[in-house]
Amino acid sequence: SSELTQDPAVSVALGQTVRITCQGDSLTTYYASWYQQKPGQAPVLVIYGKNNRPTGIPDRFSGSSSGNTASLTITGAQAADEADYYCNSRDNSGDPYVFGPGTKVTVL
């Protein structure tokens, strides 16, 4: 079955830029979607498709993709952005959808 990999944790200084990556074979065929999850809360969609933000998601969140790697970038990170971030993708092998293991973002 296919897998998505993410760095377990990253830290960023307040107001600086952080990039979170997601790697997997399925990403050469499908776009990733990205979810923010804060403790005790349901996940929230932040990026989908090529680089689309749902209504209400700040424009400091952006997405990109190259080869087998999708990236979520937070430009000018805020304290409110401290959370776990998960990528997800369709897949043609194994299960039709797969999540990455998540990246914990700490804002210093």
Partner 1 sequence: QVQLVQSGAEVKTPGASVKVSCKASGYTFINFYIHWVRQAPGQGLEWMGIINPSTGSSTYSQRFQGRLTMTSDTSTSTVYMDLSSLKSEDTAVYYCARGPHHCSSGSCTSYFDYWGQGTLVPVS
Give residues in contact with partner 1 (CB under 8 A). 1, 30-31, 33, 35, 37, 42-45, 48-49, 54, 84, 86, 88, 90, 94-102
The alpha carbon of residue 15 and the mean position of all alpha carbons in its chain are separated, in whole angstroms, by: 19
Distance CA 57, CA 28 (A): 26
List the structure tokens of 103: 């990246």
Question: H or E element: which one contains 66?
Answer: strand 61-66
Residue 16 or 92 with smaller CB distance to partner 1:
92
Residue 11 or 95 with smaller CB distance to partner 1:
95
Residue 56 or 59 with smaller CB distance to partner 1:
56
